[in-house]
Amino acid sequence: MNRWKANELSNLRRNYPTRGAKYVSQKTGHPVPSVVTKAKSLGIKYEGLKRWGEFEINYLKKNYNKKPVDSIARSLKRSITSVSNKARLMGLIVPMPKKWADEELNLLKKLWTDERYSMDEIAKMLNKTKSAAHFQAWKMGIRRPEVWHEWTEVETKYLKKNYKKKSYINIAKDLNMTVMAIQHKARRLGLKLRTTPRPWLVADDNFLSQHYKKMPTKEIAEKMNRSIDSIITRAGKIGVSRKKLK
């Protein structure tokens, strides 16, 4: 029996799930039974003949116009190709993205060059996907600032000492860094914030509803002594992030 080479294994992993053993056999020269046996030993499954259940079809109909294809594929435990092909057979079409309003374009221009905000945060504030925000910024010729900082021993010790006592916002202020820089460093160090988040009160939700999109998210976070992420997440849960910009 011929040994499998690295390029042949790569072909097997890439094509077996969607194209099957016969296709891989033609490309690698290994007999079909050998391809099937090797795929099984590596835990690679062929999805081409997997029947679509009623739940999967309904899920695809409901979410194809709302979620990215890769997200749907993960939820259904199918390949992106499988989801795309099924959507095409069902006649599902992703609608053209809505035209950006002038207010949204101005806000994107303001936030995209601000190193204090990550691309995820900006996308959430605009109620857009990250890829949509990134593409629009590229079309407008807006570039993200390139920020790089070598952490000193003193700064690292400060983060380790205070990450459970202070918010990332306050630590970023103390160290004169961006919140994103603090988050990335904490993640690399394996540091986790306190597991019991501060509960949201009715008064907190009322304040957020009154000021979200009228006041900068960073300023709201400071006034409420919460992180920007928690503000954005809560705004989505209570529905205020879907309000149109005025």
pLDDT, position 246? 45
pLDDT, position 193? 63
Distance CA 217, CA 220 (A): 5
- Residues whose CB falls within 8 Å of the CB of residue 90, separated by 6 or more in sequence, listed in order: 57, 60, 61
Average pLDDT by stretches of 10, the chain with 246 residues: 85 86 88 88 77 87 82 82 84 75 90 79 84 83 68 88 83 81 82 70 89 86 81 85 53
> What is the residue type of 199?
P
pLDDT, position 245? 45
Whole-Å CA distances, 220 to 33, 36, 108, 186, 208: 62, 57, 19, 23, 8
Q: How do residues 30-56 score in pLDDT, each as one tens digit?
A: 988 888 888 888 888 876 666 788 889
pLDDT, position 186? 86
pLDDT, position 106? 92
